[in-house]
């Protein structure tokens, strides 16, 4: 499988999921948390889902309101996200030293 391109936006989405790993999250909620527009957020979700890092399901809410699509990371996805976020943390923690030097 092709490695997933981890843009800052993707990392922001992953971080948002990692904060509440067991919760099912709505698209609009993720958009508000990450500050990403629908045109950016959904392609990321689609790519994560295609690589089985994310699971999605439809949930019925109140009467008369259409069911909503909800998302959460799969166990593999959670592991992947944590490793990538750790990588980023390491890189970022090194960057100030490099920049200062």
Partner 1 sequence: MLETHLRRAATVLMKSAIRIAPPDAREWGLAMRSELIHVEGAWSGLMWALGGATVMAKHALLSLIFPGRRPGIAPDGGLFAKNVSPRTAALVAGGGFVLAGLLFFAAPPFRQGMRVSLEAWSVVFHLRGLNAQPRLAALAKRAEMQHDPEGLVFVAARLSPWEARESARLAEEAVRLDPNLLWVHAVVAARQPQLPEIRQWVPGLERWDPQNALFPLIKATSIEMDHLKEASKLPPELWRSKLEEDRAWQSAMAAAFASQRFDDYSDRLKELDRRVVPRYGFNDPLALLLGGEPGITGYAYFDSQLYAKSLLRSGQTLESRGDRKGAAEKYWAVARFGQVIDSHRQPGFGLWASTTLQAMAYKQLQALSAKEGNHAEAALFSYLAAKFDPAGREQTSIREEWVFGREISSRNAAVLQISSLSVLIFSGFLVVAASILIADRLRGGQSRRARPGVTAIAFTSAVGLLVSSATIYLTYRPYWYIFQGAIVKGHWSQARDLLDFLMAIRFLPGYDLSVHLPVYFWAGVTLLGVTALLFILLRHFPGRPQVKKLQHNPRMP
Binding site for partner 1 (CB under 8 A): 26-28, 31, 37-40, 42-43, 45-46, 50, 56-58, 65-69
Smaller CB distance to partner 1: residue 43 or 75?
A: 43
Minimum separation from the CB atom of position 39 to partner 1 (A)? 3
- Say if residues 36 and 29 touch (Cβ distance below 8 Å): no
Q: What does the alpha-carbon distance between residue 40 and residue 11 come to, in Å, rounded to a whole number?
A: 13
Smaller CB distance to partner 1: residue 33 or 42?
A: 42
User: In 3D, which of 38, 56, 40 has the Cα closest to residue 7?
Assistant: 40
């Amino acid at each position: 499988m092709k490695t997933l391109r981890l843009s800052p936006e993707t990392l922001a989405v992953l971080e948002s999921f990692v904060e509440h790993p067991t919760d099912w999250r709505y698209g609009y909620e993720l958009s508000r948390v990450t500050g990403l527009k629908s045109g950016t957020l959904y392609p990321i979700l689609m790519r994560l889902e295609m690589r089985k890092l994310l699971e999605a399901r439809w949930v019925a809410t109140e009467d008369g309101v259409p069911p909503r699509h909800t998302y959460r990371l799969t166990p593999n996805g959670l592991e992947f996200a944590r490793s990538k976020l750790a990588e980023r943390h390491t890189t970022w923690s090194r960057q100030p030293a490099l920049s200062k030097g």
